[in-house]
Chain A
Amino acid sequence: MNAIKFLIAAYIATWLVHGVYLGSLLQRFSKLRQQLRELGKGK
């Protein structure tokens, strides 16, 4: 049984999902901060 490739695949999948999600969180954070700054300038 060549199990090691399945172990590597599972490991990559785990951190790919987490990485993509954390990346989307950072992107949303920076977008909201930008919007807040623009709203502050408008006042």
Chain B
Amino acid sequence: MKRVFPILWVLTALLLAYGTYQALVVAPTERTMGDVQRIFYYHVPCAWTAFCLFFTNLFASVAYLIRKNVRADALAVASAEVGVVFCTIVLVTGPIWARPVWGIWWTWDIRLTTTLVLWLIYVSYLVLRRFSDTAQTPILAAVLAIFGALDVPLVYFSIWYFRTQHPQPVMGKGGSLAPAMLHAFLINLLAFSVFGFMVCWSRYRLEMLKREVEQAQALESLAGAGARPAASLPLSRSAR
């Protein structure tokens, strides 16, 4: 596995480079928005990847609650953290697109607001994981993750069922894209999905390594604590 990992990273980088070339050079310029529409080729794939990671977090959290599996808990932490990174990009690139198109950076629109709430839920999940270190923390975090995941369908379907300023979906519900644009979009969707998977896998390996170090430190301190009473035993006897 150690040999495969760098090869997969190189392939991911190549796929991302090809996706960038498709988005910035090959895809035709949109008639009304101009070049700024090209933000769409990484804004939407990042949102999709964030949703996939938050769903991974949900399944891992449920698996942890049922089986108390340490690997499931590590996957939950990894997917939440990487999901927050991708969601941050969505929240940064969205306003950069909105400024020239809408004339404003931000509006309290249902899609934008629910996305911000989603980001805040998972940031609070990470804050809980970072600053609480009790045996109950993984259970509390798993429950919070279940509530957090409820916001994902709300974000996705908000533009279907509510009046919103956000553009309508390009695929499904009557939306369509020119074939050259669709090709660039699908390449980037694939590239960012693979990239998200690779980053999540790296973060998962980091989390397992962290637990290994913590376990080794705990064993070492136990061994140290075990040595002390033995050494102090004659002293305590002589004190009697």
**Size of the chain B interface, CB-CB below 8 angstroms:** 31
Residues A1 and B36 in contact in the complex (CB < 8 Å), given A10-B43, A25-B202: yes
Interface bin, chain A: 20 to 34
Residues A6 and B199 in contact in the complex (CB < 8 Å), given A18-B85, A32-B213, A39-B216: no
Chain B residues closer than 8 Å to A35, beta-carbon distance = 213, 217
A40 to chain B, nearest CB (A): 8
Chain B residues closer than 8 Å to A3, beta-carbon distance = 33-36, 100
Contact indicator B100/A13 (Cβ below 8 Å): no
Secondary structure at chain B's binding surface: helix, strand, loop or mixed? Answer: helix
Chain A residues closer than 8 Å to B213, beta-carbon distance = 32, 35-36, 39
Contact indicator B36/A14 (Cβ below 8 Å): no
Contact indicator B203/A7 (Cβ below 8 Å): no
Taking the complex as formed, is B127 at the interface, i.e. its CB lies under 8 A from any CB of chain A? no
Residues of A within 8 A of B (CB): 1-4, 6-7, 9-11, 13-14, 17-18, 21-22, 25, 28-29, 32-33, 35-36, 39, 42-43
